[in-house]
């Protein structure tokens, strides 16, 4: 006789609605398709009554963070403004669950919350790509990967959105077989279930250049050397083409030069760090490869119409 697994979802204010749906619906459909109650779930929030997601929808919950029922896995689900959401009540809840050896998972941006408690140190973790830059700066002891999800660590993580469905379908496959997982995916009209090794597609440019391996390698080299920028010539040499060929590829696919693209990458990373962390303007400049705060401020203002200092203070 199968015993239903009980999952608890901690809904943090401003949580991602798409990640929430992609977590719950595969469980519901697994019960429906199998004709058995394979999964049960409870929802929890800080006030014990409801939680609001980032699109304004309000979800009723079963309990507060101080009354979590016995469970087989505890998932933390957050979204935007995650840096401001690690309340004392949430921390107490997570510490208690950890002391009880409850298996944990983090969905969308929630790896941020567990990393603050040190629970991900020395482990691989996935988080939504929007938080990659600030996460790597704040939690260097976590092996952050660009995979859609990580399922082979004590704390499993999904990068959010439909990656949450991939993670849950992976759990269903492990627990009840590939046939049921495939049937659930079919009911969701979800035919391209990804495994954990798949990278997140980071932004529009990734979709545009996906067909050109040289451009992919060049952009990856830029991403790997943001703190110590390398020249267009050095990038071209490393990937085995001429500087002129590289410039033509960037012009064809991205309508800009490699130098301009690299600068935009660095200044966009700086913007995320200023908005998502407490790093000083000087430290942000250094982390993004600028040799002086004066140069950084000039480039930043040209890009966004505001100085880094005003951006950090929230002035507009």
Query: What is the arithmetic mean of pLDDT over 140-153?
Result: 92
Q: Looking at the structure, tell me whether residues 159 and 50 fall in a common domain.
A: yes
SS3 79: strand
Residue 215 belongs to a domain with what CATH number? 1.10.10.60
Are residues 127 and 153 located together in one domain of the fold?
A: yes
Q: Does any domain span residue 196?
A: no
**Number of domains present in the structure of the chain:** 2
In the prediction, which pLDDT does 200 show?
65
Residue 13 carries which DSSP code? Answer: T
**Alpha carbons 83 and 76: distance in angstroms, whole number:** 14
194 assigned to some structural domain: no
Query: Looking at 137, 161, 187, which one is the last position of a domain?
Result: 187
Q: Which domain holds residue 268?
A: 203-313
- SS3 label, residue 236: helix
What are 257's two structure tokens? 């030069």
Mean pLDDT of 18-45: 97
Which pLDDT band holds residue 9 (cuts at 50, 70, 90)?
very high
Maximum mean pLDDT: which of 61-65, 160-164, 199-203: 61-65
pLDDT at 275: 84
Whether 293 and 235 map to the same domain: the answer is yes
pLDDT at 314: 65
Helix/strand/coil for 81? strand
Domain annotation covers residue 197: no
Q: Are strands 104-108 and 124-125 parallel, antiparallel or unpaired?
A: unpaired
CATH code at position 179: 3.40.50.880
Say whether both 176 and 207 belong to one domain: no
Residue 193 covered by a domain: no
**Distance, CA of 185 to chain centre:** 22
In this structure, the answer to whether residues 117 and 165 fall within a common structural domain is: yes
Same domain, 161 and 49: yes
Q: Contact 262/236 with Cβ under 8 angstroms?
A: no
State how far the alpha carbon of 181 is from the alpha carbons of 168, 194, 209, in Å. Answer: 9, 12, 32
Q: Are residues 55 and 140 in the same domain?
A: yes
Contact 102, 71 (CB under 8 A): yes
Residue 162 within any structural domain of the chain: yes
pLDDT of residue 122: 95
Residues 173 and 80 in one domain: yes
Give DSSP secondary structure letters for 156-225: EEE-STTHHHHHHHHHHHHHH-HHHHHHHHHHTT------TTPBP--HHHHHHHTT-HHHHHHHHHHHHT
Task: Give the other-Cβ count within 10 Å of 62's Cβ.
Answer: 16
- CA 1 to chain centroid, in Å, comes to 37
Q: Which neighbouring-strand residues pair with 147?
A: 199
Beta bridge partners of residue 276, listed in sequence order: none
Q: What residues are paired with 8 via a beta bridge?
A: 42, 74
Q: 47: burial class by Cβ within 10 Å (0-12, 13-18, 19+)?
A: exposed
Q: Residue 204: what pLDDT?
A: 45
């Amino acid at each position: 006789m199968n015993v239903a697994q009980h999952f608890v979802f901690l809904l943090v204010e401003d949580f991602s609605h798409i990640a929430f749906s992609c977590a719950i619906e595969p469980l519901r459909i697994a019960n429906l398709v199998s004709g058995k109650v394979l999964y049960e779930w409870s929802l929890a929030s800080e006030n014990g009554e409801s939680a609001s997601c980032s699109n304004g929808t309000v979800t009723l919950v079963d309990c507060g963070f101080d009354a979590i029922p016995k469970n087989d896995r505890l998932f933390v689900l957050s979204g935007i403004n995650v840096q401001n959401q690690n309340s004392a009540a949430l921390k107490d809840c997570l510490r208690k669950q950890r002391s009880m050896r409850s298996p944990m998972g983090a969905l969308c941006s929630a790896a941020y919350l567990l990393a603050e408690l040190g629970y991900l140190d020395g482990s691989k973790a996935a988080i939504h790509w929007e938080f990659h830059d600030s996460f790597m700066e704040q939690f260097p002891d976590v092996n952050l990967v660009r995979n859609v999800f990580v399922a082979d660590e004590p704390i499993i993580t999904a990068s959010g959105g439909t990656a949450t469905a991939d993670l849950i379908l992976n759990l269903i496959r492990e627990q009840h077989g590939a046939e049921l997982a495939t049937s659930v995916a079919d009911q969701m009209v979800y035919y391209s279930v990804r495994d954990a090794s798949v990278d997140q597609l980071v932004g529009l440019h990734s979709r545009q250049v996906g067909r050109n391996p040289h451009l992919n390698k060049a952009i990856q080299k830029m991403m790997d050397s943001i703190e110590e920028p390398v020249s267009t010539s050095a990038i071209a040499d490393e990937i085995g083409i001429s500087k002129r060929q590289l410039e033509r590829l960037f012009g064809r696919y991205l309508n800009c030069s490699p130098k301009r693209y690299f600068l935009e990458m660095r200044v966009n990373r700086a913007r995320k760090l200023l908005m998502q962390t407490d790093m000083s303007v000087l430290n942000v400049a250094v982390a993004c490869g600028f040799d002086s705060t004066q140069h950084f401020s000039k480039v930043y203002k040209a890009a966004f119409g505001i100085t880094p200092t005003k951006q950090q203070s929230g002035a507009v």
